[in-house]
């Protein structure tokens, strides 16, 4: 067992990514030749892997990375841990003569009322149990695109504090880049991509390649600026045993577009070698390979590496000082990173990818090894969506409703949005209007559920594509209405223009007729011919109603 633990709780992977990075960075500062251990000293674990909170005293120090969900609540992987923690008596660890220390970094979004609720709650409980907190409580704010900035600043302070307290023998750091990977070219056959032969159970590390049964555009605007599509997947349940409950989430692994892969491989000088099979093996223990070995450069970049991730200020600063000898290019990057606000304005808020950022400075002026990006960007993350079908109605099929992320001003397009656009194009051009595409998916359970057997009215409030899970709930209630008494549903739905982006218009009208007064649809139109109306205006109007 290692003496130090880095423990994360995460819904969509941000905290996990930071925890892995933190362990990796601190390991890099330790001179392992002068310390009698063969393994790394910082182990990374998901919070759900800690069987009981009493076990926390096994480690000298625990560095927590905790994300908040719901209304300042724990992510699903952290719920059980937090509940058990709350049941321990005051000063639990002190009374047992244990001296335990922790650091805390929370991931949250300041637009939520309970900003950092989950991290705050764990911190409070640990202090009550006489865990001693070291350093500053770090808070990463996703709300103003500052999460990575906040993290980098906290990391710098925390690592130097831990170095002093734990008295590690330190390696001398320079601007020199030392790769954490060993790269060898190979003439072997490529390993199977996303091993399709692995059967159930399907999960994040073993997604199911689901066939797209149907894809349709739900919006109706001339220039398709805000396009929303419904995608239906065949779950092939008899074979896969994949199940979901209405209100759950579906996660999809997108792949990077060929043009993005081309730009990226040109940047790292490997486009001409794109089909070369390579073995890229991590040297230390802190990074695990997230791609098959051996694999071609092209496939690593297309299916596994997050090449469109947002570059951090620290990363660009390092590139300026380490990977270019061109003074003009260097100076331009140094200016860009001079302070957090300039960087956020010029890079982060413009959604610049690394290829787009460096292209105007000339790819030939940089000599950046692909391994640097493998360390910095990591694995292509799955994208999570609310399921918009009812499992009671269709157990063998799952629908999701996706708004395609496209910003014509900054030329930004989301990775999955681009892929869906391509699939729509393929469908349009194929003669029989059919699609033959499979995408890697898995299911994620959630706490978002209809009340059980309640006769109370149900109030559903949403805007735009937020109607997705409500469509599933409404369809489910309509199905139940055949055999049972149901609650009255009030839907408050904000949209821009009824004739353009009223998603599921016909479906909702049909259900409304069928439910005979038990579904009330209230539309707030913000860009229609009349005055701007938002859902809050309708709620204010109807607040006297007896919901």
Ligand X SMILES: Cc1cc2nc3c(=O)[nH]c(=O)nc-3n(C[C@H](O)[C@H](O)[C@H](O)COP(=O)(O)O)c2cc1C
What is the binding site for ligand X (CB under 6 A)?
A: 10-15, 67-72, 75, 107-109, 112, 114-117, 142, 147
Nearer Cβ to ligand X (112/137): 112
Decide: 504 and 474 in contact? Cβ < 8 Å. no
- DSSP assignment string, 160-186: HHHHHHHTPPBPPP-S----SEEEEEE
CB of 405 to ligand X, least distance (A): 15
Nearer Cβ to ligand X (144/479): 144
CB of 44 to ligand X, least distance (A): 14
CB of 66 to ligand X, least distance (A): 9
Nearer Cβ to ligand X (74/417): 74
List, edge to edge, every strand of the sheet that includes 397-403: 383-386, 249-252, 438-444, 208-217, 228-234, 397-403
Decide: 502 and 523 in contact? Cβ < 8 Å. yes
Strand partners, 385: 250
CB of 275 to ligand X, least distance (A): 34
Distances (CA, A) of 221 to 217, 224, 496, 503, 534: 10, 5, 11, 12, 20
Decide: 547 and 534 in contact? Cβ < 8 Å. no
Nearer Cβ to ligand X (116/263): 116
Torsion angle in degrees (nearest 10) through CA of 150, 152, 154, 160:
-170
- In the numeric block, the tokens 């060898």 are attached to 184
CB of 153 to ligand X, least distance (A): 16
Nearer Cβ to ligand X (111/283): 111
Alpha-carbon 332 to chain mean position: 31
| CA–CA gap between residue 437 and residue 210 (Å, rounded) | 8
| CA–CA gap between residue 292 and residue 543 (Å, rounded) | 57
Nearer Cβ to ligand X (117/378): 117
Check the CA dihedral 436-439-443-449 and report its sign: negative
Question: What letter would DSSP give residue 367?
Answer: -
Decide: 450 and 473 in contact? Cβ < 8 Å. yes
CB of 332 to ligand X, least distance (A): 30
CB of 73 to ligand X, least distance (A): 7
CB of 70 to ligand X, least distance (A): 6
Alpha-carbon 446 to chain mean position: 15
Check the CA dihedral 409-412-413-414 and report its sign: negative
Nearer Cβ to ligand X (116/232): 116
Nearer Cβ to ligand X (15/371): 15
Residue showing the smallest CB distance to ligand X in the complex: 108
CB of 162 to ligand X, least distance (A): 22
| CA–CA gap between residue 36 and residue 420 (Å, rounded) | 52
Decide: 68 and 106 in contact? Cβ < 8 Å. yes
CB of 229 to ligand X, least distance (A): 21
Nearer Cβ to ligand X (140/294): 140
Nearer Cβ to ligand X (12/256): 12
CB of 429 to ligand X, least distance (A): 35
Nearer Cβ to ligand X (107/307): 107
The token pair that represents 231 in the structure block: 């995608």
Nearer Cβ to ligand X (71/222): 71
Nearer Cβ to ligand X (101/125): 125
To the nearest 5 percent, what fractions of the chain are helix, strand and coil? Answer: 35, 20, 40
Nearer Cβ to ligand X (62/75): 75
The token pair that represents 199 in the structure block: 């059967």
Residues in CB range of 66: below 8 A, 6 or more apart: 8, 9, 15, 47, 74, 78, 104, 105, 106, 107, 118, 119, 122
User: What b-and-e string marks burial along 431-445, b requiring 16 or more CB atoms within 10 Å of the CB?
Assistant: eeeebebebbbbbbe
The token pair that represents 325 in the structure block: 């000898």
CB of 113 to ligand X, least distance (A): 7
| CA–CA gap between residue 402 and residue 227 (Å, rounded) | 8
CB of 74 to ligand X, least distance (A): 10
CA nearest neighbour of 352 among 437, 411, 269, 394: 411
CB of 121 to ligand X, least distance (A): 11
């Amino acid at each position: 067992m290692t003496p130090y633990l880095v423990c994360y709780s995460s819904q969509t992977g941000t905290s996990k990514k930071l925890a892995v990075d933190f362990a990796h960075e601190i390991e890099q500062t330790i001179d392992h030749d002068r310390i009698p251990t063969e393994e790394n000293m910082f182990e990374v674990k998901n919070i759900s892997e800690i069987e009981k909170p009493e076990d926390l005293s096994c480690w000298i120090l625990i560095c927590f990375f905790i994300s908040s969900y719901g209304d300042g609540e724990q992510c699903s992987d952290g719920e059980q841990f937090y509940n058990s923690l709350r049941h321990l008596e005051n000063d639990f660890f002190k009374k047992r003569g244990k001296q335990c220390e922790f650091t805390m970094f929370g991931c949250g979004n300041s637009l939520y009322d309970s900003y950092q609720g989950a991290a705050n709650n764990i911190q409070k409980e640990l202090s009550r149990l006489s865990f001693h907190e070291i350093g500053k409580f770090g808070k990463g704010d996703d709300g103003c695109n500052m999460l990575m900035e906040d993290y980098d600043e906290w990391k710098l302070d925390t690592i130097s504090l831990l170095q002093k307290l734990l008295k590690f023998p330190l390696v001398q750091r320079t601007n020199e880049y030392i790769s954490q990977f060993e790269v060898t070219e190979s003439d072997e056959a490529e390993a199977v991509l996303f091993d399709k032969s692995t059967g159930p159970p399907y999960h994040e590390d073993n997604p199911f390649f689901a066939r797209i049964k149907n894809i349709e555009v739900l919006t109706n605007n001339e220039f398709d600026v805000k396009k929303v599509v419904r995608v239906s997947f065949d779950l092939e349940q008899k074979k896969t045993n994949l199940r979901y409950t209405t209100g759950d989430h579906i996660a999809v692994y997108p792949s990077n577009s060929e043009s993005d892969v081309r730009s990226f491989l040109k940047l790292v000088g490997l486009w001409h070698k794109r089909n070369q099979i390579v073995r890229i093996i991590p040297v230390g223990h802190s990074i695990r390979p997230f791609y098959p070995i051996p694999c071609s450069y092209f496939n690593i970049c297309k299916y596994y590496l997050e090449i469109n991730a947002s570059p951090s200020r620290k990363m660009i600063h390092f590139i300026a000082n380490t990977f270019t000898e061109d003074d003009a290019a260097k100076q331009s990057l140094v200016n860009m990173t001079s302070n957090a606000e300039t960087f956020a304005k010029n890079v982060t808020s413009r959604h610049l990818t690394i290829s787009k950022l460096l292209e105007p400075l000339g790819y030939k002026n940089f000599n950046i090894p692909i391994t640097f990006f493998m360390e910095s960007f990591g694995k292509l993350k799955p994208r999570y969506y609310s399921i918009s079908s009812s499992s009671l109605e269709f157990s063998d099929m799952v629908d999701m409703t996706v708004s395609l992320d496209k910003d014509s001003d900054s030329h930004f397009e989301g990775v999955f949005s681009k892929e869906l656009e391509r699939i729509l194009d393929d469908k349009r051009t194929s003669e029989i209007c059919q699609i033959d595409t499979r995408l890697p998916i898995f299911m994620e359970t959630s706490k978002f559920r209809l009340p059980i057997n309640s006769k109370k009215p149900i109030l559903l409030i949403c805007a735009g594509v937020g109607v997705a899970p409500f469509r599933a709930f409404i369809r489910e209630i309509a199905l139940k209405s055949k055999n049972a008494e149901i609650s009255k549903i009030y839907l408050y739905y904000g949209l821009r223009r009824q004739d353009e982006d009223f998603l599921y218009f016909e479906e909702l009208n049909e259900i409304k007729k069928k439910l005979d007064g038990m579904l009330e649809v209230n539309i707030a139109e913000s860009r229609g011919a009349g005055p701007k109306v938002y859902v809050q205006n309708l709620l204010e109007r109807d607040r006297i109603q007896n919901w």
